[in-house]
Structure 1
Amino acid sequence: MSVARRRGRQRRIFVVLLGMSLGLAGVLLRLAWLQLSPAETVGAGAAHLLSESVAQRERELVLDSGRGDFFDREGLALTGETYEALAVFPLQAKSRLAGGAADMDKLAAALHVPPERLRVWMQSLKEPAFWHREGARIPLKLSKGQLAAIRGLRMNGVRVLPYRSRYPDAFKPMHVLGYVSQHPELLRRDYGERLKERTMKLSDQTGGAGLERSLDRLLQGTGPTTVSYFTDGADKPMHGLEWRLTRSENPYYPVRVKTTLDRAIQDKLERYVDAQGLREGAVVVLDARSADIVAMISRPQLPDGSAAADPERYVNHAVRAATPGSVFKLVTEAAALEAHVTNEGETFRCNGDYGRYGLHCWARGGHGDLTLQDALAGSCNVVFATLAERMDARTLAVTAEKLGIGEQVGWASGSAFAPLKKPLRLLPEEEGGLVFESFPAVRDGGQMAQTGIGQRDVRISPLQAANLVVTLLNGGIVQEPRLVSDIRYANGQLLAKLPRQTLPSRYGRISRDTADTILAGMEAVVDRGTGQSIRDGIWSVAGKSGTAQVSLNGREKLNQWFVGYGPIRSPRYAVAVLSENRALHTSNQAAKLFRGVMDILAEPDDSQGKNE
């Protein structure tokens, strides 16, 4: 080999070795950079790439949110129903039919829809979904015949799966339980840490009102039950990997919340008030001995999951304070008796005109001579304005507080509720109401007269009004109406017991004699007074009517009330009915509803008296 050829060969070998050395140096530099660069950057990128890869292959559908359920006092479910529904996952049209085109027609026939409509719906899916009837808020509950027809089909990405509905179609949404919805702002406020940890998403649902709101942290549970369907990047099924079920194995969740509600009574009263045309207002039924909430109805009806333009539909009128009118005369009489500015034997004179402040009695020409009991029975404005003017504002306000008026009365833990590690109020929307917006700097006779007949600043809720009756029946002892009796883990183990509680006033309580005098007057209301129209019924009842003048959008309206109890000899229930914003010169709808409610409660097949 010549010297020239040998030198050329050596140069080529040198170039190759140099290139290899430079390549190896580049690899070493790259490895060094990866070692020295921040680990979080690499990890985040890797996680992102992994999630993108999985997202191309996995479609997830929630079968059960894992949320805890509510039960009535007898253990009957108020929420939660599991049934078979049709689930469909997005796929290419040509990948859908494993058994032939006829299967699509058979599926459409089983669902009672045109095949083309079903085909278009399937092709429009971007995410997995359950089949709904048009306009329905929850997936279609498949019948036995539909199940038999569908299970014989061979269609990829189509399967019958168990679906758990939070609010079954058979139950109307109830303000007392509240609702769940997607509410990112509430999630950010309540679950900031879980959002950071990615154990919750802003798209998750949370309690928006009622018990769903107050007990949300316990109801959330440990996660949903989901089913995943695997496809490739072209939305074709990955055979052998298609389905995967994921669920929590925690034996303690979801929790079971036992309420004091009676589902049978609640359902009957819901149907009754709708049949009677209650458009705006509330009905509250309390156990006469314990003040436990047996039923609570609010109208307008709570939306069933669809968006409602009218915010009033979300308001629980049973716990919203409203002008009470003559119902407040029960408080005025109690204050006058406690202050010894009147007694049962006093006689009054009503000629229909109070003589000042432009105040008149509703009875044209007046009631004439009448006793204190006659005045309550006939709801005489002149007598109760007179009694109010004999007192000062503080005297009336103190008695109201003794009776649980002017403050929230629903069950609250006071101190931290152990499972939540913070105080618990079962009905967070409850308004405390008021007697005076502010105490007058100098005595104001007109203010006292109008307050004494339940006008001016006075506001109470139907819950407070019903509880006022329970307080009178129990000799002046104010109790906190309870809505939940206990909370248990999924395995039945007790998580928390919510005991009955009293709500003592710093001023003590009214005397039993005062309470008995007022109860006798309430009997007279129905026997010979403003409640005579509801005297006939299954039970003998006692109560007090009320009509308050209010303004709605600049127009004068009426709040119509009736509160009372029954049966008289052995009271079982205290009831408050409010019909709001009624037209002038209309009969008292609340009184009529009260009689109907009492007759329903008196029916022999209800579950009265069985609460613990």
Structure 2
Amino acid sequence: MFKRTAITGVAITIMLLLLLARLAYVQLMPGISVSMAGKAARENLKRQAVIQRQRSLVLDSGRGDFVDRFGQPITGESYRALALFPVSREARKRGGKIKQLAEMLGVAPGVLEQTWSRMTTAELWREGDSKEPFRLSPKQAEDISKLGMDGILVVPYRSRYRSDVEAKHWIGFIGEHPEWLLKTETAAIQEGRRRLDDQVGGSGLEKSLDSIIHGVGKSFVSYFMDGLNNPLHGLSTRFHEPGNPYYPLRVVTTIDLELQNKLEMYADREGLAKGAIVVLDAANGDIVAMVSRPKLNPGKFTTSDGSEWENQALKAVPPGSIYKLVTAAAALEYGKADQDEVFTCSGHYGKYGLSCWKHGGHGVLTLRKGIAQSCNIVFATIAERLSGRQLEQMAGMLGMTGQSGWHADESFGPFAKPLRLLEEEENGRVFAGEGADITDGGILAQSGIGQRDVRLSPLAAANLIVTLLAEGRVMEPRLVSSIQYANGQTMVKLPRHHHHAASGRRLSPSTAHVLLQGMKEVVSEGTGSRIKNGTWHLAGKTGTAEATLGGRNIVHQWFAGYGPVESPRYAVSVLASNRAPNSPHQATVLFRGVMDLAAEHEAGRRNGPQ
């Protein structure tokens, strides 16, 4: 009994000592006299209460923005917006100015009052179902500010998406993803450098560059209210920003935004429902434009499978006759055929159920003419002469296997991990499994004409053209050239990369020249002759791949080529996916239109102000 009582007494003594220490702290705080201790304590409690009633609203995420190769902004736009805070009904009604505010916003007073009364947190005024805050005109901003109403503020808001630029698949989208942050940014969260409610990249460059473009902090406005949601006018409002002169960052892309926008409008005007257009600089492989359809609508996704934000330029699908260029290259390099060898096409191969697309066949033709006429019989024949290993090695030499886009296998600069700019690019391939040991003639013949398990992305197809123009030297297409600080200084450069085949071999210039000549004849007298009349003299290769979708037969229509022939400026690939069999070859028509727009664009730049 004595022991328990003694322990209880000690506990009580400790509690009293802690209480006395707390009282002493309150009374003897630095800079406050004993006589003022009571008042200071009350003020301290008041300050704590005010902090608890603080309402904050993010105005700028601090995320880095993207610009095109000429410095034109692609993301990020600042404008004035209206912030509403959840003040009491009395505060909202004070002065009787809701009707005036509603008129300025172009809504009914009842709608404004009902929306405002439901708010439990600070919000930016939005019109209807819009995901973006309402953009105030200069006059609206001035008139609303003059109202002097409680609970509203005209604030500077930084929108991620610009009103004059459509969303781009290669830029991607952002959103909240706390689970991903917990998994990948644990240390940054623990150190306070990241928050679980941060916006993170969900696709495209927003995702691949998220680790550095997320910024160093948000800018926000704070509004203070008491326990009854009445504004504390003495404290007014406070604006907070990181204040770091080096941020936000600026990502300089290789894109020509003006040309990109022209091609997007053209694709929509011509009814490209699903597919892609890729335009590369013929001299170095940089991505100049990359269009994907269907359109990307950030914040308005209607499916959960990710199909709406898929970049079709990076999706690998059967290439059809585009792949005959790879097969021809293998036959020439491995001595299985020469460009003047004569073949006879009767329209039927005689085995594997293969036939030529031309009823009655092409008759007698050389390998080079086989490229121009896209003869299935010629390429099935030479494919059977090759081994699976040779087909795969040639695809690797041309950058047709794996991913083709720019990447760094080791950390560099500000990147703590290896970097792949185009994370979503799907691997190109020849065979579904191990192809080195394949000897089955049917598999080889079907693969040689770009069917069966062969897969290729529009980006890789355009890069194949760059490789042939460079006499076998394979580039890794860049989408970003550098990342800059806010003051214009360079943070890091992303230099151009060459792709090196696993075999260590490179296509010979002579073979490249044969293929380029065959592509010229495709347009001058072959399957692409319908587009030979235009602004530029062009060369390229058509392709049509058969596939099934949901139990129905479809075709993927392709065209890959370059222009102008005399002095190549652009390498272009076009894919029109999921088309009906025997429908007009949309990709060929689109290719001609893309090149005409590019020619017009180039002429405009030369003649425009310098």
1:388 aligns with 2:373: no
- Give the drift of 1:28: 3.2
Moved more, 116-125 or 351-360: 116-125
Alignment check: 8 A CA contact 2:389 2:436 kept: no
- Give the drift of 1:32: 5.3
Hey, what does 2:42 align to over in structure 1?
none
TM-score normalized by the length of structure 2: 0.91
> Matched residues in 1 for 2:438 and 2:599: separation?
50
1:542 aligns with 2:539: yes
Q: Which amino acid aligns with 1:311?
A: G
Aligned to 1:584, the other structure's residue is in SS state coil
Hey, what does 1:273 align to over in structure 2?
267
> Matched residues in 2 for 1:516 and 1:227: separation?
63
Aligned to 2:313, the other structure's residue is in SS state coil
Deviations 1:575-605 (A, max 9, x none): 0111111111101111111111111111145
Alignment check: 8 A CA contact 1:410 1:430 kept: yes
Alignment check: 8 A CA contact 2:476 2:497 kept: yes
Q: Which amino acid aligns with 1:448?
A: L
Picking from 81, 84, 90, the partner of 2:80 is 84
Picking from 382, 405, 408, the partner of 2:403 is 408
Picking from 584, 597, 602, the partner of 1:600 is 597
Hey, what does 1:137 align to over in structure 2?
131
Picking from 293, 300, 305, the partner of 1:299 is 293
Alignment check: 8 A CA contact 1:300 1:312 kept: no
- Give the drift of 1:439: 2.3
Hey, what does 1:14 align to over in structure 2?
none
Alignment RMSD (CA, Å): 2.2
Hey, what does 2:511 align to over in structure 1?
514
Q: Higher Cα Rg: structure 1 or 2? A: 1
Q: Which amino acid aligns with 1:547?
A: T
Q: Which amino acid aligns with 2:330?
A: A
What pairs up with 1:579-598 in 2 under 5 angstroms? Answer: 579-598=576-595
Hey, what does 2:529 align to over in structure 1?
532
Hey, what does 2:40 align to over in structure 1?
none
Aligned to 1:274, the other structure's residue is in SS state helix
- Give the drift of 1:441: 4.5
> Matched residues in 2 for 1:276 and 1:442: separation?
42
- Give the drift of 1:147: 2.2
The change in CA–CA distance for 1:53 and 1:420 in structure 2 (over 3 A counts) is farther
The change in CA–CA distance for 1:356 and 1:73 in structure 2 (over 3 A counts) is same
Q: Which amino acid aligns with 1:509?
A: R
> Matched residues in 1 for 2:437 and 2:57: separation?
64
Hey, what does 2:28 align to over in structure 1?
none
> Matched residues in 1 for 2:83 and 2:192: separation?
27
Q: Which amino acid aligns with 2:577?
A: E
What pairs up with 1:167-206 in 2 under 5 angstroms? Answer: 167-206=161-200
- Give the drift of 1:183: 1.3
Q: Which amino acid aligns with 1:143?
A: S
Aligned residues: 574
Moved more, 372-381 or 143-152: 143-152
What pairs up with 1:235-314 in 2 under 5 angstroms? Answer: 235-309=229-303, 311-314=306-309
> Matched residues in 2 for 1:356 and 1:253: separation?
65
> Matched residues in 1 for 2:347 and 2:119: separation?
72
Aligned to 1:396, the other structure's residue is in SS state helix
Hey, what does 1:480 align to over in structure 2?
476
Alignment check: 8 A CA contact 1:546 1:562 kept: yes
Aligned to 1:348, the other structure's residue is in SS state strand
1:114 aligns with 2:108: yes
Q: Which amino acid aligns with 2:492?
A: A
Deviations 1:355-384 (A, max 9, x none): 000000000000001111211111000000
> Matched residues in 1 for 2:553 and 2:150: separation?
63
Hey, what does 2:58 align to over in structure 1?
62
> Matched residues in 1 for 2:50 and 2:389: separation?
69
Deviations 1:477-527 (A, max 9, x none): 000101111111112221101111111213321111100110010010011
Alignment check: 8 A CA contact 1:88 1:157 kept: yes
Picking from 9, 28, 53, the partner of 2:13 is 28
- Give the drift of 1:52: 8.4
- Give the drift of 1:442: 5.6
Q: Which amino acid aligns with 1:542?
A: A
- Give the drift of 1:159: 1.2
> Matched residues in 1 for 2:587 and 2:16: separation?
82
What pairs up with 1:424-573 in 2 under 5 angstroms? Answer: 424-437=419-432, 438-439=434-435, 441=437, 443-505=439-501, 506-573=503-570
- Give the drift of 1:24: 11
The change in CA–CA distance for 1:50 and 1:271 in structure 2 (over 3 A counts) is farther
Gaps of 5+ in 1: 1-22, 37-48
Moved more, 139-148 or 218-227: 139-148
Deviations 1:253-308 (A, max 9, x none): 11111000011011111111111111111111000001000011111111221232
The change in CA–CA distance for 1:75 and 1:547 in structure 2 (over 3 A counts) is same
Give me the identity figure in percent.
Answer: 49
Alignment check: 8 A CA contact 2:172 2:207 kept: yes
Alignment check: 8 A CA contact 2:50 2:226 kept: no
Gaps of 5+ in 2: 1-7, 22-44
1:577 aligns with 2:574: yes
> Matched residues in 1 for 2:240 and 2:279: separation?
43
The change in CA–CA distance for 1:32 and 1:519 in structure 2 (over 3 A counts) is same
Q: Which amino acid aligns with 1:552?
A: L
Alignment check: 8 A CA contact 1:66 1:220 kept: yes
Aligned to 1:559, the other structure's residue is in SS state strand
The change in CA–CA distance for 1:24 and 1:423 in structure 2 (over 3 A counts) is same
> Matched residues in 2 for 1:366 and 1:87: separation?
71
Deviations 1:309-335 (A, max 9, x none): 163111111111110000000100111
- Give the drift of 1:251: 1.6
1:349 aligns with 2:334: no
> Matched residues in 1 for 2:215 and 2:120: separation?
28
Alignment check: 8 A CA contact 1:97 1:154 kept: no
Hey, what does 1:43 align to over in structure 2?
none
> Matched residues in 2 for 1:264 and 1:592: separation?
21
- Give the drift of 1:573: 0.4
> Matched residues in 1 for 2:398 and 2:20: separation?
73
> Matched residues in 1 for 2:534 and 2:419: separation?
40
Alignment check: 8 A CA contact 1:522 1:544 kept: yes
- Give the drift of 1:31: 4.3
- Give the drift of 1:200: 3.0
- Give the drift of 1:135: 2.5
Aligned to 1:282, the other structure's residue is in SS state strand
Hey, what does 2:32 align to over in structure 1?
none
Alignment check: 8 A CA contact 2:320 2:450 kept: yes
Q: Which amino acid aligns with 1:451?
A: S
The change in CA–CA distance for 1:296 and 1:30 in structure 2 (over 3 A counts) is same
- Give the drift of 1:606: 5.1
Deviations 1:34-73 (A, max 9, x none): 899xxxxxxxxxxxx9998456310000110000010100
What pairs up with 1:323-338 in 2 under 5 angstroms? Answer: 323-338=318-333
